Structures are given as C-alpha cells and as structure tokens.
Chains A and B, each alone.
Chain A
Amino acid sequence: MAETLFQKVWNAHAVRTLPSGQTQLFVGLHLIHEVTTPQAFDMLRQHGWGVAFPDRTFGTVDHIVPTDTQRRPFVDLMAEEMTTALERNCREFGIHLAGPAEAGGAGGPGSPGSDDQGIVHVIGPELGLTQPGMTIACGDSHTSTHGALGAIAFGIGTSQVRDVLASQCLSLDPLKVRRVDIDGRLAPGVYAKDVILTIIRRLGVQGGVGFAYEYGGSAVDHMSIEERMTLCNMSIEGGARAGYVNPDDTTFAFLRGRRFAPQGDAFGRAVAWWRSIASDADAPYDDRVRLDAASIEPTVTWGINPGQSVGIGEPLPSAPGDEAVDEALAFMGFAAGSRMEGTPIDVAFIGSCTNGRLSDLEEAARIVRGRRVAPGVKALVVPGSRRVSREAEARGLDEVFRRAGFEWRGAGCSMCLGMNTDRLEGRQVCASSSNRNFKGRQGSPTGRTLLMSPAMVAAAAIAGHVVDVRTLLDEVPA
C-alpha cells in the first residue's frame, strides 16, 4: 500500500500500542540544551532512572548563552549556572556535549570550547546527526527544522524530555499529513522565509494542529537544504508540530562527508534506505494545498502572531470589528490600510534557528556590502553556530557586516527570544529574521517585532525603515 514518509517512519519506530491507545514511539535522536532539561535530569535522579541511550542523545548550549563574549565564567551568573548544570548532567550520564569553553576545564577560563557549539537546530544538520528517516525530539518547538532532511522531528516539553532520557520513547498519537505543494519559481528577492510566512498566513496559525506538513512541488525541489530548513522550522508557527521534505539527491549531497553521516560503503547503503522511506508517488494525504511560487512577494509581519503578514506591496488589513486585528494594530501602533514600507526600525537582528545559517548571512551580506547601517539603528548578526561563524569569516562576511556598522556576535539564540542580555528596550521596533512576533517575545513587554527574510532585515538596517529588498538588489551586481 502506498504510504507517506510520515507513515513509514512512524511505523519503523513504533514499539507498541500502549494501554492508553497511544503509540510508544522510539526516538532515534534526542537533542538537548540548557534551558528545558535541568528539571528533567533532576526528575531522573529523583526516580533513580538512568539515560537509556546516551549515545543517541546530543547536547549543546544555545538559549541563554551570551553572544557578546563567550569567555567562561559568563558574566551572566544564571547563564553560567544553567550551562554548568548541563555540563554536569552530560558528564554524569555520559552524553556528548558541544558546549562552550568549560569554566574550570582543561583549557582554562576563556579557552575556545567545542567548535561545534551553536543553536541545536543548526548544529544537528551541520554535523550530520540529523538524517532522513529518523525520529528526532528536542525540548524546543522549532525541532520541526530537522524535517528538511526527511526526518520526523518535533518539539516536546520537559516531562517528555525526562521520558526520552529514561526510555528513548514518547507516548504519542500519529499526526495526519497535509501535502503543501509550492510550484513554480520564486522571484529574485523572495526567499524560503517569504514562502513559509505566506503559507502560515493562508492556512492560519492554528491550521496545522493535528497535522505534519509535507512540503513539495517544484519550488521546494529546487531549494537548498538550508532553505528547506527555514521552511520546516516555522511549521510549528502554523500549528503543525512537524514539517518535512522528502529526501532527494540534494539531501544526500548535503549529508555526504559530514562527521556523523554514514561513511564509506555505509553511505551508499544509507542512500538506498533513505530513498525507500520517501513518500510514494500515490501516497494518500489527509489534505492537500497548493501555492504558486511566482505569486509570493517579500513578506513582512505587521501583527502579534506569524500569521499576520502582508506582501511588501499590500496594505494592512482593514477589518473593523475584528478583535484580533484591532488588538494587533493597537499593540503595534499601525493604522489599518497603511503599508509596511517606510516603517522606521530601531533594531535589525539577523540570526536564529530560522535564518542564522551561512546562506542567510550570504544573502544579507549581498545587500550590506559597501553600504552603511542607518544612523540610530542597532544592527547585529548572530551566526547560528560556531561553524557558520567560521565559514562566514573565511569568506570575509564578518568584515562586510562590521564595516557596515553591524555587530558580529558569537553563536546562540540571542534576540530571537530575549533570554540573555540581547533584548529589545521599551517600544523599539525590530526587523528580525527570527520566527515569532509575539507580544514581549524579544525581551521587552512592549517591544515590536517585524518578521522578514534576512535580506529584508539587511535592507531595513541600511534604509532605517522597512523597504522592498528588490529595490536594493537591482543595484547589486549579481
């Protein structure tokens, strides 16, 4: 019988049907970080449980880790405490940790630490830990990112982190599968970020509840793995706990040679299996939707959830009596029917698990090269991982950004969620390449977030206000 990738992967990992009727699902890769795990390890100790599969568990620090300097001990004492707790837990239970420098480690204070440290959803794929056909769980809702390589990956809470540590399993109900086809070609200046914002706008922030999104169509076929990660990353913003793209030659080429990818002969055998777990051509879907890639414009959010966006050429909605629209417009201080173009910004943030990878920085640098950040705008680039940072530096991108007036930071989640000192102040408006524009998300209860592609953030930083990146692209030699 024809099946989707979701069904094949689910069935391969199903241990048994629990008395509750839910499935006991084996988790092939468990990624952990400093913020959603300390309580889970404490619960393990309380019950006297061990970690069932420490070699299928991999840790890093990203959420609270400072990005201005990562010398240990951190000036932020809570960042230091949470990092130390993760280091202790990983040592105690034999888990590999791609951490920062250790406070009292062999290298001494300020030593470089692991070259692998970075945002958990950036390092998983770049180390080759993330592979097609796996089930992947992590105490972070953007775990859906890993679906870009054909894995079924989803976010879990801390009690479930405890369960996965103890048993390598979760108790879950299967998801339905919605096929989302994006056909045609994206125009220059239009990116995967614009595609996913458009999907969420069309299907709603709740439209994906109960579904995994399978992205396909010719536009997705032509996307790089990094672009597919941006797409899958924000599935959860549309309510879909998981999103994925079927593995193809692009996927296999991406994985070849990565440290934790199969090596030698095993790689060929792996490719054969990876091909076999892709959705069958006649697989049944619970729902199908289709988008025309060519109709998508550079897209910007105007409200307080990621579904509230417009194309740069469109007016904001005018919907008298719609409480959600009224609340969002009032919070943002925008007028119904106005346009986003020209909206002044105070901060420009390029980074996050959505758009903090090398290709994102390259696209932004194309816009920034030879230009200056507008006076009064605080602009920062936070690479998604130390590897992204090294590769960008090898290409001279750090200098491009610095010369333009951007700050060039260490790897971490930073201003996406405002857990470290990178936060908005007061009613600042931030052009952000991150994933959530919720009230208070970037660390100031009244701060305002405009989500957009990294190239659009770069353009806004230069102009000092929201601008159509295509007007700047025209002046850039291709």
Chain B
Amino acid sequence: MTPDAPAAGAVNVITGRGIPLRGDDIDTDRIMPARFLRATSFDGLERHLFEDDRATRPDHPFNDARFAGATLLVVNSNFGCGSSREHAPQGLARAGIRAIVGESFSEIFQGNAAMLGVPCFAAERQAIERLQTLIELTPDLTIAARVDSGLITAGPLRLAAALPAALRDGFLSGQWNPTAMLLDRFDEVRAVADRLPYLNGFDFSCFS
C-alpha cells in the first residue's frame, strides 16, 4: 500500500477494491498500538496498522497481498472503540483507505475519520457479511460507495448504507474539515465567551 495524503475537497463517489476485516469491537489500540504514538508527526503510521494483530495472525487481511491497495475497508460493529487517538484513522487514510463500511462505529473514531475526509458508512450486519464474503471471493472486484445516496455497489450486490446527515453534507460540500467555518464568524464566539458566567466572575444572572 502506498502512503498518500488524506483526501481534500468534496467527497462523493469512492471507488476501488475492498478489504474485509471481520470482528466486532476492534479498538484503536489494535488498529494502532500505543508505542507508535511515540512520535511528533503522523508520517509513516500506515506501516504499523494492526501491527500486533498481523504478527499473531498470518492470515490477517492486512497481511494478504490480494487486498493490497484496497480503498474501502469493510468492518463489523463498534469499529474504532476505545482511545480517541487520531493515529488510527490517520494510519488507515495514509494506507489508502478512502471509505469504511461497517455495522457501526465509535463516535470519536467516526468523527476523527471524517476530519480526514474518510466517511464511515453504516449498514446492516447481513449486508456487511455478504459484502465481506464477496470481497474474500473476488478481491479484484471494484466497489463504489456513494456519499449522496448511501448506496454501495459491488458486482451483483447493492446495499443501502447511512451516514450521519451533517457528515454527509460536509463531505458533499467539501466542508468536512470545519476549521474555516469555526473561524468564520468569530465575533459570535466572543459573544458566547462574554456571557458565560464562569468567564465573567459569575457577575451575571442571565442563566439563573
């Protein structure tokens, strides 16, 4: 897998080959073990994805040459639970993963991935398992995931997936990275700070 910069601009249709990773509750310690957080940059994290799982499981999908260069990761439930480390989605994005399709995600992980332009689509277990099986049987298959409709197509399979509305709209408009928006009307930020009792000596009664 080649390192790559995270996406930029509007994100709608993501196409490419898939990589299936079965299992519930795969936490961010497993995606990116803590010793690889010993760095002041995110560079090179793609080399350490699932490093301990891969060492103990030769048949781990991220060891499997058939899935090298995949763009869409297909997972099960509660993916990315645990630590808030952005190093986990950074590693995935830098390994070329542009979208994740799964049964469900931890909120922090889903938000961190969105900040990198990587949508996490949610779909039903049966549909996910069918997609995982299909990719295992035909790793060269091209899969397409659409942000606007939530439709995932893979050969004969069509499955309906969902994104939280705000994330969906952010990807479509290219505003998935919100810093500029947050700085846009800074006078309104000041106004909130100016009326919060704890920033003003509790001299206000407006919240009582």
Residues of A within 8 A of B (CB): 8, 12-16, 18-22, 24, 26, 28, 35-36, 38-39, 42, 47, 49, 52-53, 56, 63-64, 78-79, 81-82, 85, 131, 133-134, 139-141, 155-160, 162-163, 166-171, 173, 205-206, 209-210, 236-237, 239, 241, 262, 266, 269-270, 272-273, 276-277, 305, 324, 327, 417-419, 436, 438-441, 443, 445-446
Note all chain A residues with C-beta closer than 8 A to B83: 140-141, 417, 436
Q: Which of A42, A47, A305, A419 contacts B34 (CB 8 A)?
A: A419
**Given A39-B42, A167-B182: A141 and B203 interface contact (C-beta under 8 Å):** no
Q: Which of A19, A272, A440 contacts B30 (CB 8 A)?
A: A440
Note all chain A residues with C-beta closer than 8 A to B196: 12-13, 26, 28
Note all chain A residues with C-beta closer than 8 A to B29: 417, 436, 438-441
Note all chain A residues with C-beta closer than 8 A to B37: 35-36, 63, 419
Whether B115 contacts A160 by the Cβ 8 Å rule is yes
**Given A26-B189, A157-B84: A38 and B178 interface contact (C-beta under 8 Å):** no
Asked if B25 is at the interface of the complex by the 8 Å CB criterion, the answer is yes
**Given A157-B111, A167-B186: A28 and B38 interface contact (C-beta under 8 Å):** no
Considering the complex, give the chain A residue whose CB is closest to the CB of B169: A20
Give A102 to B197 CA distance when docked, in angstroms.
36
Whether A206 contacts B35 by the Cβ 8 Å rule is no
Q: Which of B34, B165, B192 contacts A26 (CB 8 A)?
A: B192
Whether A78 contacts B38 by the Cβ 8 Å rule is yes
Residues of B within 8 A of A (CB): 23-25, 27, 29-30, 33-35, 37-42, 52-53, 55-56, 77-78, 81-87, 89, 104, 106-108, 111-112, 115-116, 164-167, 169-170, 173, 175, 177-179, 181-183, 185-186, 188-189, 191-193, 196-199, 201-203, 207-208
Whether A168 contacts B189 by the Cβ 8 Å rule is yes
Q: Which 7 A-B pairs have the closest CB atoms?
A: A157-B112, A157-B86, A445-B52, A269-B202, A159-B115, A155-B84, A38-B40
Whether B173 contacts A19 by the Cβ 8 Å rule is yes
Q: Which of B86, B170, B207 contacts A159 (CB 8 A)?
A: B86
Note all chain A residues with C-beta closer than 8 A to B167: 20
Note all chain A residues with C-beta closer than 8 A to B203: 269
Provide 21 A-B residue pairs closer than 8 Å at the C-beta atoms, listed in order of the A residue: A28-B199, A36-B37, A36-B84, A36-B86, A139-B84, A141-B82, A141-B83, A156-B111, A158-B87, A163-B178, A167-B186, A206-B78, A239-B106, A239-B107, A269-B202, A270-B197, A417-B34, A419-B38, A436-B83, A439-B29, A445-B33
Considering the complex, give the chain A residue whose CB is closest to the CB of B191: A15
Give A162 to B185 CA distance when docked, in angstroms.
17
Note all chain B residues with C-beta closer than 8 A to A26: 189, 192-193, 196
Note all chain B residues with C-beta closer than 8 A to A273: 197-198, 202, 207-208
Note all chain B residues with C-beta closer than 8 A to A36: 37, 84-86
Note all chain A residues with C-beta closer than 8 A to B166: 18, 20-22, 171, 173
Considering the complex, give the chain B residue whose CB is closest to the CB of A238: B81
Give A52 to B78 CA distance when docked, in angstroms.
34
**Given A169-B182, A440-B30: A15 and B188 interface contact (C-beta under 8 Å):** yes
Minimum C-beta distance from B199 to chain A (A): 7
Considering the complex, give the chain B residue whose CB is closest to the CB of A303: B25
Give A63 to B39 CA distance when docked, in angstroms.
12
Note all chain B residues with C-beta closer than 8 A to A133: 197-198
Give A36 to B108 CA distance when docked, in angstroms.
14
Minimum C-beta distance from A164 to chain B (A): 9
Q: Which of A14, A85, A272 contacts B208 (CB 8 A)?
A: A272
A sample of 6 more A-B contacts (CB under 8 A), given A141-B108, A417-B34, is A26-B193, A157-B112, A163-B182, A173-B164, A206-B104, A239-B78
Minimum C-beta distance from A338 to chain B (A): 22
Whether B85 contacts A419 by the Cβ 8 Å rule is no
**Given A26-B189, A438-B27: A160 and B111 interface contact (C-beta under 8 Å):** yes
